[in-house]
Amino acid sequence: MGEETDFFQLMAAIGGKAALFSASGHAARKAVNEIVRAQLVADGTGLDQVRQIRALLGPAAFAEALDGVPAPKTKALLTRADPHGPALAQPGDRIKALLALADGSRAPSVPVEKPARKAASRKAPAGPDAAPKEEAAKDPSAAPAPRKRKITGRAALRVSEER
């Protein structure tokens, strides 16, 4: 068959005469599942396309096709379909979430707004409280004790050998 052949049109023609190809039912099922899986794992497939595919295939055939998608690809598809949703660790949970998103029983998660950070003032406070801190900085006896340095690497080996 040439490059100009429309294979989707040929599949529609075969589907229209399914009785003529009755011995190929299993092969047709596998072909449909592979086509659907290839589209589901494609980079541009989002929630709208997933819902359209489910509406076209029906719930049972869609679930069967989705069940054959590899776990890493399922995670990527769920992230595209619901970018603000919870990160699910188990592949079965991801498939259930995708099925719920596809049939509309679960809406995509909305982004969680994080509280705004308060900018810390880097200036020294002005006023009556500022004077004691400046005096403490000038007085060496009021300075905190120096921190002990943790010895690691070769220095630690030398110290342990000396003991």
What is the CA angle 2-13-11, rounded to 5? Answer: 60
Q: How confident is the model at residue 42 (pLDDT cuts 50, 70, 90)?
A: very high
Of the CA atoms within 13 Å of residue 17, those in its CB half-sphere come to 7
Q: Is the pLDDT of residue 107 over 80?
A: yes
- Tell me what pLDDT residue 105 has: 92
Average pLDDT, the chain: 82
- Tell me what pLDDT residue 138 has: 60
Give per-residue pLDDT as tens, 47-70: 999 999 999 999 999 999 999 999
Identify whether the C-beta of residue 65 lies closer than 8 Å to the C-beta of residue 40.
Answer: yes
Interatomic CA distance for residues 126 and 129, integer angstroms: 7
Identify whether the C-beta of residue 64 lies closer than 8 Å to the C-beta of residue 83.
Answer: no
Q: Is the pLDDT of residue 106 over 70?
A: yes
Q: Which amino acid is at 15?
A: G
- Tell me what pLDDT residue 120 has: 60
pTM: 0.63
